[in-house]
Amino acid sequence: MTDELRAGEITKPEINKRKSLYWFLTIPWLTILTLIILWGVYGGEKNVTNLDQFSEAGILQQAAIALPLLWILTSILLVDYTETAGVTALGYAVDSVGSGPKLLARGLFTLVSFPRTSLQEQFPADPEDVFKGDDSELLPPGQKRALRVTTGAPEKGQRNDDGSDESSILDIQVTVGIFFYLRIEISDALVFALRYGSIEQFWRQIRDTGERVITNEFAKTKGAAQLIENLSPIMNTLNDRFVEIANSGGVTVIESGINSPDLSHTLATALRDLGVARSKAMQSQVMLEKEGTGKAYAEKVLIDSIAEALENAGPAAVSAYVGERTLNDKTIVLGTDGLTQVMGLAKTISETFKRSDAT
């Protein structure tokens, strides 16, 4: 992992759980309330059963019974079996508690609870809630911007014996839409509350860290081909970082990952068709060269064939082909329409050959 990602090393917060504080506060509290109740029953001039209920003395003694009992009853809190909880008192961490009824004096103790069941979040949002349009467009209500990440520029490919480029068709710099997710369980409510305070704050930190790690790791990859090869190590790096964050905050990571980058079905089909078209075109070139037609004319036939294939394959294939063979910076954005203007590029080259032959 890079130095910049390690700059803010995460450490697990030290929690001194004061378990004895529960009894130190609860026993005196119960003792005092019990004495008040007993005074209400037997104190004063008469036993409470013989009092005039509407007299001043009767009302006071009844209140001495009812109010403490009400305080005790409202201090019985229930922790559901689907929750994990912890207790604090006077600002101190007392202890983690399991499910079931708990006697926690209101005003003295605070119960913090979180779901015990596994929680999952996908970033930037669920696919149906992510806006697929351009970032310059107005964001529709209820949707979030896509997370788009650009790979590094590919290195120049080696040359074959005939001088042609040995690069793969996917040796191009690409910008892809990314979705990543994390599934967790909160194992220690007190540590979680101290570190994050709320589930929303935890997910916010996961989102920021995830986007930073993915952007950094994708920038290291040299084009689409290397991105596909390195996707698994990138996911491992991301998971390691999430585990680091989780362990420091009373959380257990169940699963994390990156969903397949949005290379789109259209692009995948176009790349497949383009590969077939190029193979056929190269076969025609070899045959013409064997027949002694001449390399220049053979190159013209190759360009004609590719031009025809590109016109039928659609803008995604054109983007991929031009990104591989034509653009100097070898950069395209997958899934956009902006590069459709290069549609006629190969055909223009072909027409130039034809004009050259005519002269």
What residue ranges in the chain does DSSP mark as E strands? 76-79, 83-89, 92-97, 100-103, 109-115, 119-123, 130-131, 144-145, 147-150, 175-178, 180-186, 251-258
Query: Furthest-apart CA pair in the chain: how many Å?
Result: 129
| Higher pLDDT, residue 172 or 98 | 98
Q: What domains can you pick out in the chain, each with its CATH number?
A: 20-115 (no CATH), 121-258 (3.30.479.30), 265-358 (no CATH)
Question: Per-residue pLDDT tens for 138-176?
Answer: 888 888 888 888 888 877 655 445 555 556 666 777 788
Which residue has tokens 């910049």?
Answer: 4
Report the C-alpha gap between 316 and 223 in whole angstroms: 16
Provide the 3-class DSSP secondary structure of residue 257. strand
**Hey, what long-range contacts does 100-107 have (CB within 8 A, 24 or more apart)?**
101/76, 101/77, 102/76, 102/77, 102/78, 103/26, 103/72, 103/75, 103/76, 104/75, 104/77, 105/25, 105/26, 105/29, 105/71, 105/75, 106/71, 106/74, 106/75
Global pTM value: 0.63
CA 339 to chain centre: 30
Mean pLDDT along residues 320-334: 45
Residue-averaged pLDDT of the chain: 75
Report the C-alpha gap between 41 and 34 in whole angstroms: 11
113 contacts 189 by C-beta, under 8 angstroms: yes
- At 340, is the pLDDT very low, low, confident or very high (cuts 50, 70, 90)? very low
